[in-house]
Amino acid sequence: MENGRKRRILQSKVMIGRLGLSRAAVRGFASAEPAKFTVQPAIERAPTDLLKALSETVGTDPTAPHFAFIDDPATIPSTASAKRTYFMAKELGKRAARELAAEWPTLFAFDRDQPRLPVFRPENLPDPLQIEPTEKNLLRMIESREVEDCCLLYERMRSENIDVSQKTQLELFKLVAYYNSSNIPFAEWVEWVGMRNFGQNDKAEWKAAGVADLLFETIPRNDETVSIMIAALSKFGENSKAKALFKEHTEAGGKVHIEAYNGLIANSDFKSALDILKDLKTIKPNVSTFSALLESASRIGKFEDRINAFTRIIGEMQALKIEPTLTTYYYILKNIIDSKTQKLLNEAKNDESEKKYHNQIVVSISWLSEILDKIENKQLEVSSNNCNVFFAEAMGVAYRGANLEISQRLLKIYESSNNNVKMPAFTTESLFYNRYLQLFIEQSTSIEQIYQKYKDFVPRLVGVSNSLSGSVYRKLSKEAHWPLLRRVIQDGISAGQMTTAMGEEMRKQLIEVQYHTLSVNERDEFNQLVQKLVSTWIEFSKFTEEYAKRLQRKLSPSQISECALLLTRIGEYQKAFELLELLLDEEASHGEESTVLAHGYARPHVMSALFEDSLRRKDSYAAALCLQIMSLHSNRNKLEPLANRIFEKCSLTESQQKIIQSFIRLRPQ
């Protein structure tokens, strides 16, 4: 076969030589065998394979804003609270539109969709007081989990003597017992993500003599219904009632399900929990049982006993070959450090409490290290609704233990492809990354690495906050890094830090910048930033109109002196001294339209720097202005040498010298 092919190629080459290319082509086509096409079988792919491949190649850009926000510099939020506000605003807008469409569906009848899509046809929920009181309607409501509506309809059916079958009653009982006859909590809202993540329910108490109690009395008692009732009572804090019911049922020879045991265990103290556990003879405990047991063990006051209990529980799980989940680890890490010790330490530091706290941190770090050993390289799946909090809690432990290595391991596990447990953005995830970034900033020695990390995380994953900016500024005080400083200040501007205490920190950091060490481009950036900051502060001080008064932030004398110094650094001498003149202007600090605070004083070291700068430029007016400002809070002895320096450096006329001398003489000694 191979030889035949070679021969044919050779023949064709010879032919091309003899006949020319075009003729050879014609002859070749005429004599060739019909070409055989084989269609390759299609590679079988799942519907999302292509998307997965794309996402692996493209990845997420951590520096871009979250997709939920309007991608425009003016509308991208940078603080955690702004993210929450904007997200909720958008969601509430959507809800308003949905309400409209549900109320007036005929106005939205641009019906060109084939097939009809019910998702674009929102409907109002049926009113339980208007709807026909049938079992079918009740079941439909149960299915849509409208708990309070179900209760209303059921009560209406009872008052109208309409029979409800046992089966429906059981279904209703399951629903109302689980949700305590109230609507489902925000955490279970499916459609509205913002409400799910940001909404907070008050801790509910069991509704005594409610529909659940009524149904429990109506339907026949068996293991299932009693178990449901016990679990529900335990869930809503009716521990004594749950225990009494459990006792009553078991004494009558009944057996309750594992969920009821879990509820009872979680609410009991550790000793009683162990007693309940001993009753589990025929039923095998599950992971939730051990989570409940850990919850009960967390109430043990003494640290050593608590650790012993945790060890015993984990040992028992190993003996029963039950794999601990992230929820299990979450309960351990959450309760390992004594909240009391921490509180004591915060209130009054003493050696004993410090030692105790340190010991607890060491133990918790070693537990965390072992947990990480176990979950590294393992496929992590969602096991309960709070298992994702494990990561945030573990990062909290690493942060308190100031252990960067552990935190990096944890981050790697969280971001690996083996992990399918993701924290909700803006809430828990933001907390997780915030703790990591704070720890990294505090522990890392390389300012360049801090800059890179900061750029990666802020503001997308971590919101700008005073504590975060503060820790970066502390690092920058030790080692200068212009790009990082510029970035932190710019983030601070968009986070509204300019008018808070952080504004002072910004000025302090900018004054400390060694201007001559910056490159040409960096100097440009510095100039622009200073101009922007100073003009914004001045603008804030000028909101003197009645309607804008609440926005006004008056300039303080120290702020004016610092701004003036910054302006002189960038060569804006005229602006700087115009600003300084405000300090001597009575009208600027008094009256309805004042823009300067009446109290406070210009910073002495800033004023002396400005004074020196004026002397260097031999600017007698500027030097005299500085002297006049310094005279507000200095006595004659301090001012005299300064006046003499003006006479030395600047060429003054005799009358000018006399004016300054008499001015100094009039100052108090």
Partner 1 sequence: MLRTPGISACRQISTTSCAMKNKAGKHKSTVNRTQLLTYEMAQKPHHIGVRKSWLTWHSQNLEEFRQSQPVVVAQDEIIRRFIRGFFPQNVVISGNELVIKRRGNVCIVAGFLQYSRRLDIRRIYWMFGFAEEFLSILLKQPVKLELAFVETEDDVAYNYI
Residues forming contacts to partner 1 in the complex (CB under 8 A) are 70-72, 74-75, 77, 85-87, 89-98, 100-101, 108, 110-113, 117, 120-122
Nearer to partner 1 by C-beta: 306 or 553?
Answer: 553
Nearer to partner 1 by C-beta: 70 or 320?
Answer: 70
Give Cα 531 to chain centroid, integer Å.
Answer: 32
Q: Is 413 helix (H, G, I), strand (E, B) or coil?
A: helix
User: Smallest distance, Å, CB 455 to partner 1?
Assistant: 23
Which residue(s) pair with 286 in the sheet? none
Neighbour tally for 274: CB within 10 Å: 16
Nearer to partner 1 by C-beta: 37 or 547?
Answer: 547
Task: Of 324, 323, 294, 326, give the one whose Cα is nearest residue 310.
Answer: 294
Nearer to partner 1 by C-beta: 122 or 237?
Answer: 122
What b-and-e string marks burial along 48-80, b requiring 16 or more CB atoms within 10 Å of the CB? Answer: eeeeeeeeeeeeeeeeebbeebeeeeeebbbbb
CB of 415 closer than 8 Å to CB of 457 = no
User: Smallest distance, Å, CB 80 to partner 1?
Assistant: 15
Nearer to partner 1 by C-beta: 26 or 100?
Answer: 100
Rg (CA), the chain: 37
Find where tokens 């679990």 sit: 231
User: Smallest distance, Å, CB 105 to partner 1?
Assistant: 9
Instruction: Give the 3-state secondary structure percentages of the chain, helix then strand then coil, rounded to 5.
Output: 65, 0, 35
User: Smallest distance, Å, CB 543 to partner 1?
Assistant: 13
How far apart CA 522 and CA 511 sit, in angstroms, is 15
Nearer to partner 1 by C-beta: 308 or 499?
Answer: 499
Q: Residue 238 contacts by C-beta under 8 Å, 6 or more apart in sequence?
A: 206
The structure tokens listed for 147 are 């708990």
Nearer to partner 1 by C-beta: 72 or 163?
Answer: 72
How far apart CA 557 and CA 546 sit, in angstroms, is 24
Nearer to partner 1 by C-beta: 85 or 379?
Answer: 85
DSSP string covering 605-617, please?
Answer: HHHHHHHHHHHHT
Find where tokens 């509820």 sit: 263
User: Smallest distance, Å, CB 527 to partner 1?
Assistant: 22
User: Smallest distance, Å, CB 93 to partner 1?
Assistant: 3
User: Smallest distance, Å, CB 82 to partner 1?
Assistant: 8
User: Smallest distance, Å, CB 53 to partner 1?
Assistant: 18
User: Smallest distance, Å, CB 504 to partner 1?
Assistant: 26
The structure tokens listed for 83 are 């993210």
CB of 633 closer than 8 Å to CB of 588 = no
Nearer to partner 1 by C-beta: 21 or 70?
Answer: 70
| Helix locations, 183-302, DSSP H | 193-198, 211-218, 223-235, 239-251, 258-267, 270-279, 287-297
User: Smallest distance, Å, CB 645 to partner 1?
Assistant: 48
User: Smallest distance, Å, CB 435 to partner 1?
Assistant: 28
Task: Of 339, 292, 344, give the one whose Cα is nearest residue 313.
Answer: 292
Q: H or E stretch including 21?
A: helix 21-31
User: Smallest distance, Å, CB 382 to partner 1?
Assistant: 27
Nearer to partner 1 by C-beta: 76 or 361?
Answer: 76
- Would you state the torsion angle of the CA atoms of residues 470, 476, 481, 484, taken in this order, to the nearest 10 degrees? -10
Nearer to partner 1 by C-beta: 17 or 93?
Answer: 93
Nearer to partner 1 by C-beta: 229 or 495?
Answer: 495
How far apart CA 151 and CA 133 sit, in angstroms, is 12
DSSP string covering 66-113, please?
Answer: PTTS-SSTTT---SHHHHHHHHHHHHHHHHHHHHHHHH-GGGG-----
Neighbour tally for 278: CB within 10 Å: 8
